[in-house]
Amino acid sequence: TAVGERSVRVSVEDSGPGIPAEDLPRIFDRFYKVDKSRHGQGSGLGLYIARALIQRHSQQIEADRSPDLGGARISFTVARP
């Protein structure tokens, strides 16, 4: 989505179970996993790395529930080249 002449808003959404509200504040923490029952799947670094990259560009990344699909939505803004 175009935000202005110099930036674009990127949102990635899914139709899965979403992220519980109590976990939202921590999902960008290093090694944090929402579903503790999933053994061996993922290291808990993906969203941590995404946040680090976005912050290096002086931007913010947010997570909430997708209003259209019902699952998770991860959104951030990037500057156009």
Cut 0.85: pTM above it: no
Give me the pLDDT at residue 32, please. Answer: 87
* Domains of the chain with bracketed CATH: 2-79 (3.30.565.10)
Task: Walk along the chain (81 residues) in steps of 10 and give the mean pLDDT of each run.
Answer: 80 91 91 70 88 93 93 91 77
Phi, psi torsion values for 51, nearest 5 degrees: -65, -40
- Cα three-residue angle 28-58-12, rounded to 5 degrees: 50
pLDDT for res 43: 82
Whole-number pLDDT of residue 18: 87
The contacts of residue 64 (CB under 8 Å, 6+ apart) are: 24, 72, 73, 75
